[in-house]
Amino acid sequence: MSLTLALEVGWGTTMAIKTLVVLMIIPLGALILGYTFLLKMMSHMQSRLGPMDPGGFHGWFQLIGDGMKFIQKEDLMPDGADRKVMAGAPAVVLISTFLVFLVIPMGPDLVVKDLDVGVFYALAVSSLSVIGVLMAGWASANKYALLGALRAAGQLIAYELPLLLAVVGVVMQAGTMSLQGIVYAQRDGSIFGVDWIGNPFILTQFIGFLLFLIAAQAELTQTPFDMPVAESELVAGYMVEYTGFRFLFFFMGEFGTAFAFAAIAATLFLGGWSVPWVHGDMANLLGPFVLFAKLMFVAFLMFWARFTYPRLREDQLQAFAWKVLIPIGLLNLLVTAVFKVGF
């Protein structure tokens, strides 16, 4: 089934619309993820209701109200803090999240720029947030913030590798690094001749999917890998000196990155915006919603693990990454390569 819509828009309008979408996606995504999973899903998993009053209907206004509260707070910085670096750190974290959305496709034509090295670019740019974390820790003029930031940076860097290994398996199967190409490979592919569900890589790359989920969990410093953030039990985490809207940026950055990683996982493993038998302009209309649904499923898995498990100690966390996840990732790569060459 295909619809044809002819819309003549100039380059400028397209650019404006794309910029607007990317700018709005982080706050909206953070809001939706925060409300659904952090406020409501966590509450119901804990046998309680979560916010019910703000906004009247099941407390939908709670996060927006929190955002407004943060914005009107005083902009405090510690005495010895490096003001420019401290102000820049949340910006770096947020910008790295925005940049990821430039390559995520929401439909056959709905992508800001379909780079040939899409996946490589996405992973590279999302790891820029490590710099933001280190900046935050260093500029805070607080020894404990620095220690927390160093720990967080160590964790983030360690878990880049399993993330990468999980993604390389998908790239090998799809034959291309471009995200649009990976989606097409899943929609138009077939599993040993059966093609009515396409070839979603989650079926063949299930180890890769698990690896990606675990590594993404660690990249987002979510339980069970949230020692840098929950370190604020004992030693203050890297965000300790941040209040007001700078803290809001960190918070939005965290949930925005969760949104981004869930989108990438949905694109790489579940087929992104594609439904196998829908082509053409219908795909452009349905694409964002399909991607959103798949993304929410992946986010559900990530947050489900977050609210169930206790946290690992820092050394156990590092040992897990280096001694368990990376060997499994390499093995997965080997098996994928064998299958790709053999079949």
Partner 1 sequence: MSTTETPAGVPSFELDRNALRHLADAQINVELDTGDMILNLGPQHPATHGTLRLVVRLDGERVLAADPVIGYMHRGYEKLTEVRTYPQITTLINRIDWLSSFANEVPFINAAEKLMGIEAPPRATYIRTILTELSRISTFILFLGEMGLQVGALTPAFYGFRDREHVLNLIEGATGGRFHPNFNRIGGLKDDLPWGWVSETRSVMKMMLDSCDQFEDLVAGNEIFHARTKGIGVIPGDIGTAYGVSGSNIRASGVDWDLRRDGEPYLAYPDLDFKVWTHADGDSFARYWVRLQETRESVRMVLQLLDGLPSGPVMAKVPRIIKVPEGEAWVETENPLGQMGYYVVSKGATGPFRCKIRSASFSNVSILPWLLRGVYVPDVVTILASLYFILGDIDR
Partner 2 sequence: MARKKLPGMIGGLGITLKTMLKPAVTVQYPHEKEEPVTRARGVIALKEENCTVCMLCARSCPDWCIYIEGHKEKRPPRREGGRDRTVSVLDRFDIDYALCMYCGICVEVCPFDALFWSPEFEYSEHSIAKLLHDKVKLGEWMETVPEPEPLEIGAEPPKKKK
Nearest in space to 267 (alpha carbons), one of 125, 165, 167, 129:
167
**327 CA to centre of own chain:** 24
Which residues ranging from 16 to 75 are in contact with partner 1 (CB under 8 A)? Answer: 42, 45-48
Of 41 and 177, the one with the shorter C-beta distance to partner 2 is 41
Binding mask 186-225 for partner 1 (x = CB under 8 A): -------------------------------------xx-
Q: Which residues contact 342 (CB under 8 A, 6 or more apart)?
A: none
Distances (CA, A) of 123 to 110, 209, 233, 295: 20, 15, 31, 17
**Coil, strand or helix: which one is 32?**
helix
User: Min. distance of Cβ 308 from partner 2 in angstroms?
Assistant: 5
Q: Segment 308-337, which members bind partner 2 (CB under 8 A)?
A: 308-309
Structure tokens at 190: 């077939």
Binds partner 2 by CB under 8 A, chosen from 32, 123, 197, 305: 305
Please pick, from the candidates 70, 98, 247, 307, the single residue that binds partner 2 as defined by CB under 8 A: 307
Decide which of partner 1, partner 2, none touches 323; Cβ closer than 5 to 8 Å per partner kind.
Answer: none
DSSP state for residue 57 in the 8-state scheme = S
Q: How far is the CB of 48 from partner 2 (least distance, A)?
A: 5
Asked whether position 334 contacts partner 1 by CB under 8 A, the answer is: no
Residue 98, C-beta contacts closer than 8 angstroms, at least 6 positions apart: 22, 23, 26, 256
- What one-letter code names the amino acid at 134? L
Interface pick for partner 2 out of 31, 41, 282, 295 (rule CB under 8 A): 41
Per CB under 8 A, does 210 bind partner 2?
no
CA angle 241, 142, 135 (to 5 degrees): 70
Q: Does 243 engage in binding with partner 2 (CB under 8 A)?
A: no
**Residues 20/299, Cβ–Cβ less than 8 Å:** no
C-beta closer to partner 2: residue 50 or 67: 50
Among 13, 14, 46, 316, binds partner 2 (CB under 8 A): 46
Extract the tokens encoding 92: 């770096």
Contact 97, 129 (CB under 8 A): yes
Site for partner 1 in 133-162 (CB under 8 A): 143, 146
Q: How far is the CB of 35 from partner 2 (least distance, A)?
A: 15
C-alpha 13/C-alpha 342 separation (Å) is 48
Q: Shortest gap between Cβ of 213 and partner 2 (angstroms)?
A: 13
Tell me the CA end-to-end span of the chain in Å, nearest whole number. Answer: 32
Task: Give min distance, CB of 224 to partner 1, in A.
Answer: 5
Residues that bind partner 2 (CB under 8 A): 41, 43-49, 52, 304-305, 307-309
Residues that bind partner 1 (CB under 8 A): 42, 45-48, 143, 146, 223-224, 226-227, 230, 233-235, 307-316
